Amino acid sequence: MKSTLRIAVLGSGTGSNFAAILDAIRSGTLHAEVTLALTDEPASTFLTLAQSHHLPTAVIDCGPHPLRTTEASQQAIHDHLLAARPDVIVLAGFMRILKDPSLTAFADRIVNVHPSLLPHFKGRHAVRDALASGQTTTGCTVHLVIPEIDAGRILAQAPVPILPTDTESTLHTRIKQTEHTLLPQVLSTWPTP
């Protein structure tokens, strides 16, 4: 029998992708357990969700600057990850840039979900940029995390139409719905040791 996949999830926001992972575990389509839910946002729904499921949590103070994360907080994140012994680490709306020592220690075991069809529309404003581009299709990507942002090997992608009536919010909501299927699918095929 396949052993249980150990997943560490990092998030900062609403946690809808985290919820999709938990739903997939509950329904049995994903044979996994969440061994850590780590956040930099103590007021996030992500954290509330983890707490309501009685999961191991960690809140890391990454400092006031949204883009600069101190070496000490990278080390604190790493210490929690090591203790959680994950087979795979999921960045599910984690707004900080994960760096070493975790990137090297967990190379090829960190995935990110991004709201565009990479390599198109990298960065924080992927949905806004897709909408502004005038294209009629965007989508979402699950990819490996490497030091270069949104550039690691693509594991899965799914398209999402851009409707003439879309706002950034409506488009992002529909992209997330697609992410909620794609991300658990990728995790369900992840090899266990």
Among residues 66, 87, 92, the alpha carbon closest in space to that of 14 is found at 92
> What's the one-letter identity of residue 65?
H
| Chain centroid offset of residue 184 CA | 11
Whether 114 is catalytic is yes
| Nearest to ligand GRF of 21, 81 (CB atom) | 21
Min dist CB 14 to ligand GRF, Å, is 4
Question: Tokens for 189?
Answer: 């095929």
The span from the CA of 43 to the CA of 30, in Å, is: 28
Catalytic residue, chosen from 78, 80, 114, 143, is: 114
Min dist CB 179 to ligand GRF, Å, is 5
Min dist CB 3 to ligand GRF, Å, is 26
Place of tokens 């799914």: 158
| Nearest to ligand GRF of 42, 193 (CB atom) | 42
| Chain centroid offset of residue 118 CA | 15
List residues bridging with 114 in a β-sheet.
Answer: 141
Q: CA separation (Å) from 21 to 50, 75, 106, 116, 152?
A: 11, 26, 20, 20, 21
The residues that touch ligand GRF, with contacts defined as CB under 6 A, are 11, 13-17, 92-93, 113-115, 176, 179
| Nearest to ligand GRF of 11, 86 (CB atom) | 11
| Nearest to ligand GRF of 79, 154 (CB atom) | 154
Min dist CB 121 to ligand GRF, Å, is 11
Could you give the residue numbers annotated as active site?
Answer: 114
